[in-house]
Structure 1
Amino acid sequence: MGVDIAVSNKMSDAIYKWTKMYANEAPWINEEIRSLNLASSICSEMARLVTMESEIKITGSQRADLISDSMAMFIKNLPVYVEHACNGGGIVFKPYIDSQGIAIDIVKAGYFYPVEFDGANHITAVIFPEFKTVGKKLYTRLEYQELKNGRYIIANKAFVSRKAVVKNDNVINLGQEISLEDVPEWADMEPYVEFESADRTLFSYFRMPMANNIDTESPLGVAVYARAVNQIRDADEQYGATMWEYKAKETAIQAADEFFQRDRKGHVILPKGKKRIYHAMGPGISDIEGRPFFNVYSPQIRDESFFNGYNRIVQKIEFNSGLAYGTLSDPQVVEKTAEEIKTSKQRSYATVKAIQNSLEDALQTLVSAIDAWIDIAGMSPPGKVEMTSIWDDSIIVDKETERRQDLQDVSIGAMQLWEYRMKWYGETKEIAQAMVSDTAEVVEK
């Protein structure tokens, strides 16, 4: 495409590693060390906290209704997209025109290639690859988008190769360039389109709001657990050691052949279903006193100390990932003071709130991009488009505790009953006051 990719080898390797960890294919996983799914669990839990009971609405006009309808399925699947963003450090939402109207592509980290950023670290130029395999041939389409000096450029090129190798952090041997018309799905695409008076990108980048500790010069986001990668490895290894402790110290009965029944050929018959417990030592085996050898192997298992160590590691993972203590670990194993628990919840709340703010910005940008495509395609007359978002805050606020406190405030006169009804019943001021007045009249009678 004649441009340089603004992704360092460090970032490329890190994204590839996070992808493997999320898929339980971390480089340290083997027959003895199995994955605890911590990377995917962290992303899943963070996405749940960010999106639970959230409401995204687009209102204001006929155009707003069209955008809302186009985003309905997208909003429904938003927790999944947030989970992928938590793992890769970010994700791109790319709307486009199709035969049904407006569709939205979801492009995970490692599958888009930033080219340029502006002063606010927003992506202004990017390459999106698309792959299609037909028999032994691999077809690749590279879509380049650029916003610069009020101009917006979209360029498409297609390639075909019999020896292409595709990884999420690299594309090798694209082969020879071909016409877009050679691939039926790409035949209607323009090789080059340019728009004037452009003031926004036609895609949105949702970035994790943490500082990039992998490549401090990169504007790209990092996985929510980027600072906990080493501890995740330690946890996998510690858990593997714990499982080995159980396996190595399984009860075993070692005995001379004289203690077992034999078949017609004289072979020892071990108790059915208990072959892992009983071990025939051979005929004529005796102990130091000359009696047939019989020994029960049942050492004490050190599981408590192993799991205590494991939980301490997991709590470090929680700290480095912005989660509250007890989210992944067992809160009863390692005691924490009430102040420490409160602080950890506040840390989790701060992390979740920062991600929600970043997500809201990305959704606003996505709505603006869809609005621009509607203008380009002439799909709807101009109209007001307003996006509102509501995020749940129960991660830090105990609703029942807060409600009891409000009732106490009402009882001592620090809070009006109608204010309580407005807050907890969702009533308007007029309705709440009327309800309180009606209740008072019934009491008087």
Structure 2
Amino acid sequence: MNYTKMYEALRKVLGNEQIDFAMSGRSSALIELWSRMYEEKAPWLHNTDNANIPATIAGEIARLTTLELQSKVEGSPRAECMDAVYQQVLGKLRVQTEYAFAKGSMVFKPYITPDGTIAIQYIQADMFFPLDYDSEKMTRCAFLDQFRKGNEIYSRIELYSMSGDSLSIKNRVFIARTEGTLGTEVPVGTVPRWAELAEEMQFSGIKKLPIGYFSVPLGNSRDSGSPLGVSVYSRAIKQIEDADRRYSQINWEYDSKETAVHIAQSLLKYNPDTNSYEYPGGKERLYRGVEYAAGAQDKPLLDVFSPAIRDTAYYNGWNQQMRLIEFRCNLAYGTLSDPNNTDKTAEEIKASKQRSYDFISDCQRALQKALTDLVDAMAFWCDIYHLCPAGDYHLSFQWDDSIVVDAKAERDNDRADVAMGAMALYEYRMKWYGETEEEAKAAISEISSTGEVIE
């Protein structure tokens, strides 16, 4: 889908909705560029090899953000009901956040299935249109759902709109024959896939849109007036392009310097059936037939072509380019570049890890807010359709911090503190075994009473 064209088409059909569009043509073009880079369709790849750097960056940041995340909806039978769905979301979170980090944002959108259960739709940035914001939150947005049948493209625009404490949800359906357009509007009920959907629903007493919106916590250096999230590699586009070109140069260096044997045709066996000279079996790639003239007759001759490969200089340049990309994308040195390179001092490496940790922490806070809003949205639909029993609920989170902290080294230090009396043994157990103070002291007492050695 051409996101920019679809955004312009959406503006036309929503012209009478009195919307102050938060997006601009520039914002939509950037989202489209980030998407193409992630999907290995960057505009410079038509004559350049692809090192697949954008997907690597997005995947690594998603891994670091969701590493060992533990979260649960707790507090009542209602919470248990919602937690069953929520745990399925957590199981898919690493993959889905990778798309979000690549394209700038993502929406977690609960919906009711035909069999009356709640499910979650993961809507990537290039299938979602933020439309309006107040000072703190999004108040209007549109979701695009498309499918093709024969020569016709069916599009459904689902518009969420808040005014005060009132929520309006509208469905509009269009049929087109050309990509990048919406085409002719038709009644929702005329398309079997969407026949059960209402054209409009109204709700009151609403504080926020019933969705979880995750936005990458970075400033938009290309469109500073935009409230939308940006790709994690938005500040390294030119550097990634240069890296792909350097990657192509390295590949060409190896291809162009491949060892070959120039051999006179007089040394080859002639096959009259094929009217050609035959190279030694399985060695066609190694030998190159050349005619050598020396007076009236060819002379049998072998000439080995095996020039030196300048890989060290090329890889040094590649490594420095990776360092620049790491810095611009808030990754620690050694994530993309050679971790064994000693050009950076220990303090610089430590600072880069701290920078990465700070960014991942920001991402975790943004993701925690989005997941909290998702659970609230699930509760909203559970109330509307009476899917779960009444009751309170709360959401717990436990994030991993091993980007900077070496857990093994920290644990060894704590053991040393216990041995010298600077840390109580029950404190050690509370920290590393996840026990309460009472549980830790009881375990120590039990171990002492059995005469076991306590280390």
Relative to the length of structure 1, the TM-score reads: 0.92
Task: String of CA shifts for 1:173-200, please: whole Å, max 9, x gaps.
Answer: x222211111122222221221122212
Task: String of CA shifts for 1:129-169, please: whole Å, max 9, x gaps.
Answer: 212322222222211111111111111112222x2314xxx
**Are 1:351 and 2:323 counterparts?**
no
Letter in 1 for 2:105: G
Looking at structure 2, the residues matched to 434 and 193 of structure 1 have their Cα atoms a distance apart, in angstroms, of 57
- Deviation of 1:282 after TM superposition, in Å, equals 1.6
Looking at structure 2, the residues matched to 44 and 285 of structure 1 have their Cα atoms a distance apart, in angstroms, of 61
1:311 corresponds to which residue? 319
Equivalent of 2:29 in 2, 9, 13: 13
**Are 1:26 and 2:42 counterparts?**
yes
SS of corresponding position for 1:218: coil
The answer for unaligned runs of 5 or more in structure 1 is 167-171
SS of corresponding position for 1:155: strand
Farther-moved stretch of structure 1 (174-183 vs 313-322): 174-183
- Deviation of 1:431 after TM superposition, in Å, equals 2.9
- Deviation of 1:63 after TM superposition, in Å, equals 1.7
- Deviation of 1:283 after TM superposition, in Å, equals 5.4
Q: Is the 8 A contact 2:165 2:205 kept in 1?
A: yes
2:142 corresponds to which residue? 127
2:239 corresponds to which residue? 231
The answer for unaligned runs of 5 or more in structure 2 is 1-13
- Deviation of 1:24 after TM superposition, in Å, equals 1.1
2:278 corresponds to which residue? 269
Q: Is the 8 A contact 2:266 2:299 kept in 1?
A: no
Looking at structure 2, the residues matched to 149 and 267 of structure 1 have their Cα atoms a distance apart, in angstroms, of 83
RMSD of aligned Cα (Å): 2.0
Equivalent of 2:168 in 146, 149, 153: 153
1:106 corresponds to which residue? 122
- Deviation of 1:65 after TM superposition, in Å, equals 1.6
Task: String of CA shifts for 1:100-152, please: whole Å, max 9, x gaps.
Answer: 321111111021112111102x2110111212322222222211111111111
Looking at structure 1, the residues matched to 41 and 184 of structure 2 have their Cα atoms a distance apart, in angstroms, of 33
Letter in 2 for 1:341: I
- Deviation of 1:364 after TM superposition, in Å, equals 0.8
2:91 corresponds to which residue? 76
Q: Is the 8 A contact 1:6 1:116 kept in 2?
A: yes
Equivalent of 2:63 in 36, 48, 63: 48
Q: Is the 8 A contact 1:256 1:285 kept in 2?
A: no
Looking at structure 2, the residues matched to 37 and 334 of structure 1 have their Cα atoms a distance apart, in angstroms, of 25
- Deviation of 1:267 after TM superposition, in Å, equals 5.0
Letter in 1 for 2:104: G
2:7 corresponds to which residue? none
SS of corresponding position for 2:235: helix
2:334 corresponds to which residue? 326
Task: String of CA shifts for 1:42-98, please: whole Å, max 9, x gaps.
Answer: 111111111111111001112212211222322210111111110111001111222
Q: Is the 8 A contact 1:6 1:113 kept in 2?
A: no
Looking at structure 2, the residues matched to 45 and 360 of structure 1 have their Cα atoms a distance apart, in angstroms, of 18
Q: Is the 8 A contact 1:252 1:277 kept in 2?
A: yes
Count of residues in correspondence between the two structures: 432
Task: State, as a whole percentage, how many aligned pairs show the same letter.
Answer: 39
**Are 1:365 and 2:373 counterparts?**
yes
**Are 1:420 and 2:435 counterparts?**
no
- Deviation of 1:284 after TM superposition, in Å, equals 3.8
Looking at structure 2, the residues matched to 64 and 263 of structure 1 have their Cα atoms a distance apart, in angstroms, of 80
Looking at structure 2, the residues matched to 381 and 439 of structure 1 have their Cα atoms a distance apart, in angstroms, of 44
Closer/same/farther in 2, CA of residues 223 and 253 from structure 1, 3 Å limit: same
Relative to the length of structure 2, the TM-score reads: 0.90
Q: Is the 8 A contact 2:261 2:305 kept in 1?
A: yes
Closer/same/farther in 2, CA of residues 151 and 267 from structure 1, 3 Å limit: closer
Closer/same/farther in 2, CA of residues 282 and 365 from structure 1, 3 Å limit: same
Letter in 1 for 2:330: G
- Deviation of 1:411 after TM superposition, in Å, equals 1.5
